[in-house]
A and B are shown apart, each in its own frame.
Chain A
Amino acid sequence: MNEGREHTIFHHALKVVPELCIGCTHCMKACPTQAIRVRNGLAKIFEERCVDCGECYKACPVSAIIVEQDDFNEIFRFGARVALVPSVLIGQFPSQITTEEIFGSLKKLGFTHIFEIDSVVEQVQQGYNRFRENYSGPAPMISTFCPAIVRLIQVRFPSLVNHLIRVKPPSDIAALHFKEALIREGFAEGTIGLFYVTPCAAKIASIKSPVGEDDSAVNGVINMEYLYNKMLQLILNRDVENDEGETGNLTSKGILWSLTRGESKHQPGRCLAVDGISNVTQFLERLEDAEETNINFLELRACDESCAGGVLISGNRFLTVERLNGRAKNLPDTPQDSTKNAGAKFDPDVHGLKPIAARSMMVLDKDRTIALEKMNKIEDLLKVLPGIDCAACGSPTCRSLAEDIVLQRASITSCVFMQELYLRKGKITLDEADRINAEIWGEGRDQRSQGK
């Protein structure tokens, strides 16, 4: 990894709040791309490695990692204030609460139009079919539904980027589609504000810095956790008027699309669904090693139970899945002709993605000879480091410390075991050791008995 040499700016939704961070190692150890280090007593996220999966957000014991979002009052800058609603929002509410009440509460909060994004899954499916017919690349095709997975493949499995299906996810197609519909109804383009109610951090990042498209049609992102509290309060106070929403053609296929096997069970051939980012990583390693050419379609989701387990969803993910399955039973299997977006077609020029570029984070140096030297050094360092992955050096594992040392981001005395050895041999002084520890854990860390 070439920190500082990369000119591309990646927008990330996950930020560390310095005032709250206690500089423990939970987030660093949970990160699937080893994108976090502890420096000066604070967690530091390496931008080019982060895939916005939100594992750190879930792991933080003091809520010091926050998900950046747009200010809710932004919506009032627009005449048409559109809430783009994923099905998992509906799944937060018990079955006694109707979708009309749920949508009514969103209207009450200030939105003028409620659109269910999963009502466009037929268009996504058309896109998949079209892509499959023209696809000559290696099997299996990999879904681009989950933005954290797309980024994971870009940085950690660069050899697999060609497997990615170049079709925009439902949220993006829905935004484009509904914007067009409102323009047809007479709204000026500048007066339409499209706000996506997001269950995850990766989606925020993918809207702010899209992959495979120049610009996102979505104007803003609203954190689902924030909205849920306000909605529930209105509904419980019976302070809402029923609203049917704008699309009315959510199908049983659509409402379950964002859950595990939501896509894979509708694709032809041998299909596999994997959820949970560590499970996905394990499977992709395998896919890279041995050729799993017998699988046609791979659905990969970063969160356990897919979007029902999104990091911005506070409700229990298993209950969400059960509730959505319950609601699916009362929905038609195919879109009804009478509904507003019936007959909408997939348009590859508008709804397709451009080729997705690899941006490997693994490379030690662009010069092979230097990279080889660094690799030799790493192997030598691993022979002396304790191999217990304690993370007290501020790097998640002994191997990552060895990498940080050769990339000049840490020194061998960052390791507490090596430091002890150097002290005993008189190679460093106690003052020097204190300074090294302060660089990792902050000033005076060794003198306090409790957290901040």
Chain B
Amino acid sequence: MQQRFQVKGGDFINAGKASSTVKSMLKQLNVPANLIKRIVVALYETEVNVAAHAYEGEILVKIESELITIQVADKGPGIEDIELAMKEGFSTASKEVREMGFGAGMGLANIRKNSDTFTIESDPGKGTTVEIINKLSF
């Protein structure tokens, strides 16, 4: 089972569509609720990241009987220093944005926390790819 989703840069309203769709699918597959929650949180944060930082992105979700693989590839500025970006609290958001409750610097850290296997690669100036692989049973 494969599904593709497009995310546009700046479109926060539709960021969350992929995670919502994937959530209903995982419910139909009888995946335990707490495993669904991890996947949905990781995917949602990824969608929001694309909307916040990239020009556009594509999400490919592949569901097998025991595994879900989520690949996200975006066209955007990329990340100069991935290790720094992964740190909890690191954020490129301005003070104003943070005061509005966004850009707390938890996004990537949160995605990694909710993934069983997390891979990130970035080509500064071109874009970022993220792969999340999670188990569907304990």
- A368 contacts across to B, CB distance below 8 A: 29-30, 65-66, 136-137
For A279-292 the 0/1 string (1 means CB < 8 A from B) is 00000010011110
> Interface readout for B19-45 with A: 1 if CB under 8 Å, 0 if not?
110011101111001101100110010
Q: Are B44 and A289 in contact (CB under 8 A)?
A: yes
Complex-state Cα separation, A40 to B19, whole angstroms: 38
Question: Main secondary structure on chain A at its contact with chain B?
Answer: helix
The answer to whether A159 and B64 touch (CB under 8 A), given A360-B27, A366-B30, is: no
Closest to B17 in A: A289
Looking across the interface, which residue of chain B has its beta carbon closest to that of A162?
B33
Stretch at the interface among A198-206, A225-233, A251-259, A369-377: A369-377
Contacts of B105 in A (CB 8 A): none
- Taken together as a complex, chains A and B put the C-alpha atoms of A358 and B40 apart, in Å, by 19
Choose from B16, B19, B34, B65 the contact partner of A159 (Cβ within 8 Å). B34
Report whether B1 and A376 are in contact in the complex, using a CB–CB cutoff of 8 Å. yes
For the complex, count residues of A whose C-beta is within 8 A of B. Answer: 21
Instruction: Assess whether B1 is in contact with A379, with CB atoms less than 8 Å apart.
Output: yes
B63 within 8 A of A: yes
Q: From A371, which residue of chain B is reached at the shortest CB distance?
A: B29
Q: How far is the CB of B24 from chain A (nearest CB, A)?
A: 7
Quick check: A289 and B1 within 8 Å, CB to CB? no
Assess A291 versus B41: contact at CB under 8 Å? Given A159-B33, A358-B33, A372-B63. yes
Interface size, chain B (Cβ < 8 Å): 24
Chain B residues within an 8 Å CB radius of A379: 1
With a CB–CB cut-off of 8 A, which chain B residues contact A358? 33
Chain B: minimal CB distance from A178 (Å): 38
Question: Closest residue of chain B to A376, judged by CB?
Answer: B1
B65 touches A362 (CB 8 A): no
Which of chain A's residues have a CB closer than 8 A to the CB of B137? Answer: 368
With A288-B40, A369-B65 known as contacts, the answer to whether A375 contacts B30 (CB < 8 A) is no
Report the Cα distance A298→B40, complex, angstroms.
21
A285 to B29, CA, bound (A): 18
Q: Tell me the bound Cα distance from A290 to B28 in angstroms.
A: 19
A364–B36 CA distance with the chains assembled, in angstroms: 16
Contact status A290-B29, CB under 8 Å: no
Q: Check: A342 CB closer than 8 A to any chain B CB.
A: no
The digit string for A290-309, where 1 denotes a CB below 8 A from any CB of B, is: 11000000000000000000
Contact A372 B33 (CB under 8 A): no
Contact of A363 with B by CB under 8 A: yes
On chain B, the residues within 8 Å of A362 by CB distance are 24, 27-28
Minimum CB–CB distance from A389 to chain B (whole Å) comes to 17
List B contacts of A159 (CB < 8 A): 33-34, 36-37
Shortest 6 CB-CB contacts between residues of A and residues of B: A159-B33, A362-B27, A363-B30, A368-B65, A364-B28, A369-B65
Chain A residues with a Cβ under 8 A of chain B: 158-159, 285, 288-291, 358, 360, 362-366, 368-369, 371-372, 375-376, 379
* Known contacts A363-B27, A365-B30; 15 further A-B pairs (Cβ under 8 A): A158-B27, A158-B33, A159-B36, A159-B37, A289-B19, A289-B40, A290-B16, A291-B41, A362-B24, A368-B29, A368-B65, A368-B136, A369-B65, A371-B28, A372-B64
